[in-house]
Amino acid sequence: NAGVTQTPKFQVLKTGQSMTLQCAQDMNHEYMSWYRQDPGMGLRLIHYSVGAGITDQGEVPNGYNVSRSTTEDFPLRLLSAAPSQTSVYFCASSLGQGVYNEQFFGPGTRLTVL
């Protein structure tokens, strides 16, 4: 198993550009989520999905869209990038929502918006 994979690893955007951060998992996990990590702030939840076709907002959803058309993939879209979205983005997945279901994290995407 590859686990949770994210592409790209690094990205530089100009203000106003759009892009999609890709996340895929091959563990047949139902629950997937996106976090952003900023210095001194830990990780904050952007959006999450409890299964294909179902998504919901997390703590900091503004400026981001998600969709979940398959169990494996959970892309994060930035429609009009802003410098405040400069961050490291992590995707995570778990088998289910129960407390015993460990979340597995991808390696991250480092995004810079100029």
Backbone angles phi, psi at 46, to 5 degrees: -95, -60
Least distance to other proteins from the beta carbon of 38, Å?
10
Stretch that binds other proteins, among 11-19, 61-69, 71-79, 102-110 (CB under 8 A): 102-110
Told to check if 90 binds other proteins by CB under 8 A, we report yes
CB 36 within 8 A of CB 106: no
**Cα(99)–Cα(36) distance, integer angstroms:** 22
**Cα(66)–Cα(69) distance, integer angstroms:** 10
Told to check if 33 binds other proteins by CB under 8 A, we report yes
Which residues sit at the interface with other proteins, rule CB under 8 A?
Answer: 4, 31, 33, 35, 40-45, 48, 58, 90, 92, 94, 96-103, 105-108
